[in-house]
Amino acid sequence: MDNIKDNKLSDRNKSSFNVDPFGENKACIFAYQKAERISVAIHLVTNFVPEGEPVRNVLRDKSISVLSDILTLRGGLRSTGSENVNRIIAKLYEIVSLLTVVQSSGHISAMNLDIIKNECNSLCAFLREVEDMEGSESLNLPVAFFKVYSEPLTMFKGQKVKDTQKSFKEPVTSKGQVKERIPRASKGHGKRRDAILALFGEKERINVKDAAVAIPDCSEKTLQRELVSMVSEGILKKEGERRWSTYSLV
């Protein structure tokens, strides 16, 4: 009897998590997914901002509040009025400004700043585009459009925090905070990796030729070793053999 009750309770809990607050509002679903990934990224890159720095929590709180604001649009972007959209866009611009300050202080890398900045700009542009579009709530977007990971934030997909830390420029520590692990490598090594990761902002797959064009001062052999190393560390995955090998983010 108790087992039956437990099963019913379990089924009820499962169904409660499957409730979709957006209904058929596909534009709002996409905006929420996008904002969710931005929030995840902000939490990751602020891990090594000292805990005593007010900007650390301000950035995290603002990124979460954007999610709450987008939920208010679920009744329809047009029907809820432009005031809500304007508020979201203003917060996204503020987030970018604060991240710029944090990057200037040396707590996050320029590459990570650019990635999040591009995502914020992309979300702002999307909200403006669908705001005045008739029938935007039932916008019939292709499946690929919802692949938020196909954008630059793919660098966070499936990676542990320690993997993301490798792209940070400098370690920053405070009491009770774990020191950032910096790989034992030369500056050139780190720059090569940054340049390789930056290529995924333009395409989902790359090969050694793509890397050679982006990093002309390195031989293809050196770049091949770098790509293989990134595969072994779980940052990239490889498909194909030898000259036909292609690489994508894990």
Q: What is the pLDDT of residues 37-95, one digit of tens each?
A: 999 999 999 998 998 999 999 999 999 999 999 888 876 665 556 788 889 999 999 99
The residues near 164 (Cβ < 8 Å, ≥ 6 apart) are 44, 45, 155, 156
Residue with tokens 């909200």: 127
pLDDT band, very low/low/confident/very high, at 165 (cuts 50, 70, 90) = very low
Report the CATH number that the domain containing residue 240 is assigned in CATH: 1.10.10.10
58 with 118, same domain? yes
- On whether residue 51 sits in a domain, the answer given is yes
- Residue 123 reports pLDDT greater than 60: yes
Q: What is the DSSP letter of 178?
A: P
Q: What is the DSSP letter of 206?
A: B
- Residue 246 reports pLDDT greater than 80: yes
Count of domains in the chain?
2
137 with 195, same domain? no
194 with 148, same domain? no
- On whether residue 180 sits in a domain, the answer given is no
Lowest mean pLDDT among 58-62, 170-174, 200-204: 170-174
Query: Given this model, what pLDDT does residue 76 score?
Result: 65
CB count within 10 Å of CB 15 equals 9
Alpha carbon separation from 140 to 36, 129, 137, 144, 214 (Å, rounded): 21, 14, 9, 12, 37
Query: Given this model, what pLDDT does residue 181 score?
Result: 37
Domain extent, residue 242, equals 187-249
